[in-house]
Amino acid sequence: MAHTFHRTQSAGPVTRAAASLGGFVGRVTAWNEARRTRNALSRLSTHELEDIGLIRGDIDRIAERRF
């Protein structure tokens, strides 16, 4: 007869810290992507923005969608 044992303990402090750090890194990465998108779109001329179906007022909305 085989016996199996299951751990029922909650995540330890190291696991929680790693998850928290991972969440933080994810938020910083998302913020940086939004910043880069906003900067790239801001460098486009009004005509170039129109070519891709945007107006200058759309830039913040588009960039924040990722953050």
Confidence of residue 37 (pLDDT cuts 50, 70, 90): very high
- What would the DSSP string read from start to end of 1-67? --------PPP-HHHHHHHHHHHHHHHHHHHHHHHHHHHHHHTS-HHHHHHTT--GGGHHHHHHTT-
The CA-based diameter of the chain, rounded to the nearest angstrom, is 76
The mean pLDDT of 55-62, rounded to a whole number, is 93
pLDDT beyond 70 at 67:
no
CA distance 58 to 7: 51
Tell me the pTM. Answer: 0.64
Give the chain's mean pLDDT.
85
Angstrom distance (rounded) from CA 16 to CA 52:
43
Q: Is pLDDT above 70 for 4?
A: no
